[in-house]
Amino acid sequence: MKNILLAWVVVLTAVYGVRAQEGFSVGAFIGLPMADGSDFATFSLGVDATYQFAIGEKFSAGPALGFSHSFGETRTYYGVDLDYDDVQFVPIAGAGRFYINEMFTVGLDLGYAVGINDGNDGGVYYRPMFGYNINEKIQLNASYRGVRSSYDDVYYNSYGYYSRSVNWNFGILSVGAMFSF
């Protein structure tokens, strides 16, 4: 079964072959915070920029840079309003793109997201994406943007001081558009 599927992929790739896109692209996105980010943020906006170098007929890679701003939420606990701060990241990554055919692209960005707001140390950045190419210059895409980090939390209770490692993942499920030049 795997060989049949692989044969179909090879045939379709040959029939619908494309050339890797090379050049500068900029875009914008909107999204919903996911994972730990949904606990204290309502929605996100951001911008992306990338420069892709054609590596082969169907693959390109290059640097990526962006900015994301997630708006803090106000929650009420036991009659007390808690205002969470906005969360901002500047992801610096390497981006790879595979062009399935002239219409569809898949990709992955990997790097580090620098935390901009107070108390945000940033973390490892990853972004799997799926794109639909409207034409050679405009792409609509959907992606999950994740920032994974850990920190040591020291706390005190009546028995003494304790330390624990805390892992968190700030995610954004996003849709956006990229414009190539």
pLDDT tens digits, one per residue of 52-76: 999 999 999 999 999 999 999 988 8
Residue 15 binned pLDDT confidence (cut-offs 50, 70, 90): very low
Least confident residue range of 15-19, 103-107, 147-151, 171-175: 15-19
For 91, half-sphere exposure in the C-beta direction (CA atoms, 13 angstrom radius) is 28
> Of the candidates 59, 30, 55, which has an alpha carbon nearest to the alpha carbon of residue 42?
30
Give the pLDDT of residue 39: 85
pLDDT higher than threshold 80 for residue 176: yes
Query: Left, alpha or beta for 29 (phi > 0: left; psi -120 to 50: alpha)?
Result: beta
> Of the candidates 92, 85, 89, which has an alpha carbon nearest to the alpha carbon of residue 116?
89
Report the range out of 53-57, 81-85, 148-152 with the highest average pLDDT.
53-57
Give the pLDDT of residue 6: 44
Instruction: Using a pLDDT cut of 70, give the percent of the chain over it.
Output: 80
The full set of domain ranges for the chain reads 20-180
Whether this model's pTM surpasses 0.85? no
Mean pLDDT throughout 143-166? 74
Beta bridge partners of 124: 112, 148
Q: Please state, in angstroms and rounded to a whole number, the distance separating the CA atoms of residues 104 and 113.
A: 27
Note the pLDDT tens digit of each residue in 24-40. Answer: 999 999 999 999 888 88
Give the pLDDT of residue 5: 47
What top-level class would CATH report for the domain 20-180? Answer: mainly beta
Note the pLDDT tens digit of each residue in 94-137. Answer: 999 999 999 999 999 999 999 998 888 899 999 999 999 999 99
Burial 5-18 (b: 16+ CB within 10 A, else e): eeeeeeeeeeeeeb
Mean pLDDT score of the chain: 85
